[in-house]
Chain A
Amino acid sequence: QKEVEQNSGPLSVPEGAIASLNCTYSDRVSQSFFWYRQYSGKSPELIMSIYSNGDKEDGRFTAQLNKASQYVSLLIRDSQPSDSATYLCAVNGYGGSQGNLIFGKGTKLSVKP
């Protein structure tokens, strides 16, 4: 059973702080990793994708991947109240270039002004 685990939160950080979101996955052959943001009542919105070990930065967002530890994280710098949402970690379901994504349950982030 392929699984993706996330702390459900809520994670509360003050405005301007760094928010750190974590995710572990069970399938060692997974090759594609994604972070989606989902506002209440809305659909998931892609924020970041990462495929290789190390860090990938895009604006205020940094994704980190450690395949040996089966761990992927998302850092949000200079957190804003508009970042308050549920963050979903998703992992490619198979070790190839097709197939479904397996999602964690999401971590709810609250950024306090």
Chain B
Amino acid sequence: DTGVSQDPRHKITKRGQNVTFRCDPISEHNRLYWYRQTLGQGPEFLTYFQNEAQLEKSRLLSDRFSAERPKGSFSTLEIQRTEQGDSAMYLCASSRTGAADTQYFGPGTRLTVL
């Protein structure tokens, strides 16, 4: 199996700019999750897709955040008008239906907002 991949691995941007991250799940996995992790904290759930449907969104996901999974394969997470508080590691995970939420994580995208 090819694991979960994320692109880019690092992103530095200026406050107010828009950024977009991509996640490619494990090929047979139909569920895809986005999490955010800051220093000293565990990952915090942002949103979740089953196939192309976005089934759940955390209240952490403000109006500046949007996620898509248009064909049920890869997903994108866009942050508009970035703020310094958005600086974090953005993690993508995938799982398979019936696998009891066994989620496998990608390498993450580290975002720094200056």
Q: Residues on A close to B: CB < 8 A? A: 4, 8, 31-32, 34, 36, 42-46, 49, 51, 88, 90, 92-93, 97-106
Contact B101 A46 (CB under 8 A): no
Closest CB in chain A relative to B55 CB, distance in Å: 7
User: Which of B43-51, B62-70, B71-79, B80-88 has 4 or more CB atoms under 8 Å from chain A?
Assistant: B43-51
Query: Assuming A43-B91, A43-B106, A43-B107, is B43 touching A98 (CB within 8 A)?
Result: no
Tally of A-B Cβ pairs under 8 angstroms: 68
Contact A98 B107 (CB under 8 A): no
Closest CB in chain B relative to A42 CB, distance in Å: 7
List 15 extra interface pairs beyond A98-B97, A99-B48, CB under 8 A: A4-B42, A32-B102, A36-B105, A43-B89, A43-B106, A43-B108, A46-B105, A49-B100, A88-B42, A98-B101, A101-B33, A101-B103, A103-B42, A103-B44, A104-B42
Q: Residues on B close to A: CB < 8 A? A: 31, 33, 35, 40-45, 48, 50, 55-56, 58, 89, 91, 97-98, 100-108
Query: Assuming A43-B91, A105-B40, is B101 touching A99 (CB within 8 A)?
Result: yes
**Can you list 19 pairs linking A and B with CB atoms under 8 Å apart?**
A31-B100, A32-B102, A34-B101, A42-B107, A43-B91, A44-B43, A46-B105, A49-B102, A88-B43, A97-B98, A98-B55, A98-B97, A99-B101, A100-B35, A101-B43, A101-B45, A102-B45, A103-B42, A104-B42
- Point out the residue from A51, A93, A104 that lies within 8 Å of B45, measured CB to CB: A93
Contact A32 B105 (CB under 8 A): no
- Point out the residue from B43, B56, B102 that lies within 8 Å of A46, measured CB to CB: B102
